[in-house]
Amino acid sequence: MREIVVSGIRSTGNLHLGNYYGALRNFVKMQHENDCFFFIADLHSLTTHPDPKMLSVNVKSILAEYLAAGLDPEACSLFIQSDVPEVSELYLLLNMHAYIGELERTASFKDKVRKQPENVNAGLLTYPTLMAADIIIHKATKVPVGKDQEQHLEMTRRFARRFNTIYGVEYFPEPTSYNFGEESVKIPGLDGSGKMGKSEGNCIYLIDDEKTLRKKVMRAVTDEGPQTPNAPKSEPVENLFTIMKIVSSPDTLAYFEEKYNNCEIRYGDMKKQLAEDILKVTTPIRERIAEIKSNDAYLRKVIAQGAEKARESASKTIAEVKKIMGIHYF
């Protein structure tokens, strides 16, 4: 049986290698095995008061990048969140049964209050309710989420359960996390620690040109090299080998592993090879991004088609929810 899968795409910044291997490749596979709704979360981004012109530019860029990486608008529903007004309506209705105390206790809200005390708005507080509306409006059963979103998914289940209990129905399913298992890949950053992330500034972006990409890889943090045969690797060096394991051939990896274990490794040579192998992955995607971005007619068609599919699902849910809640009078 095909699962209903929903996933939101942030409408800020560009996609990087970590996004590609960590989620995007799985989305591409998933779209052929499930009924998938992938949306660009422009309403969520409004909590940070983005520049209106940049919001438009970012949405177009993200859309082109996802299409270039392999999302197929014929195989999945790909749409912009604000093009489905039923989501905002369900968000309003769910807020009637969401309580200030539980919203204030979420880790992400506390984090935002600490980081941006000058902009603690109601949209930030009710972010979990909007996320819940995004998911349950399509009666999703699976949601691919990162560790930082697990608490929000738990709240989505709580809101679905609460609605069912209050109105004495078994209407909303309780979605669970989509586990990629062995296929889940984490790409480390180039700065010697942690994962690759936009905010950390340690990314290789899918749109990076050849010169930029080579420069970034050559600047990657390493150490002074192994002093004894088969020495354990430091974290920065381990990170480079992790990326190589993912993007390079097994022979290439084995060659540099042997050089390291024999204390003969030259990190400059390793980085040059790594840059070559990353370019083999990103160059075709970068070229497709440029081609797709220049075709406004195609992008408009994709978004219109995706919104139509999403609204078909969402409008049915909203009509049934309002009936359950008694919001139908004549």
Q: Which of 60, 139, 195, 259 is catalytic?
A: 195
Q: Are 188 and 194 within 8 A, CB to CB?
A: yes
Q: Which of 60, 139, 198, 316 is catalytic?
A: 198
The three-state secondary structure class of 272 is: helix
Q: Are 143 and 153 within 8 A, CB to CB?
A: yes
Rounded Cα distance between 307 and 313, Å, is 10
Task: Tell me whether residue 323 is one of the annotated catalytic residues.
Answer: no
The three-state secondary structure class of 117 is: coil
Question: Distance between alpha carbon 83 and the CA centroid of its chain, in Å?
Answer: 19
Task: Tell me whether residue 216 is one of the annotated catalytic residues.
Answer: no
Residue whose C-alpha is closest to residue 105's, from 42, 57, 151: 151
For residue 84, what are its two tokens?
Answer: 């489905």
Task: Tell me whether residue 112 is one of the annotated catalytic residues.
Answer: yes
The residue type at 175: P
Question: Distance between alpha carbon 30 and the CA centroid of its chain, in Å?
Answer: 14
**Residue 204 DSSP symbol:** -
Active site residues: 112, 195, 198
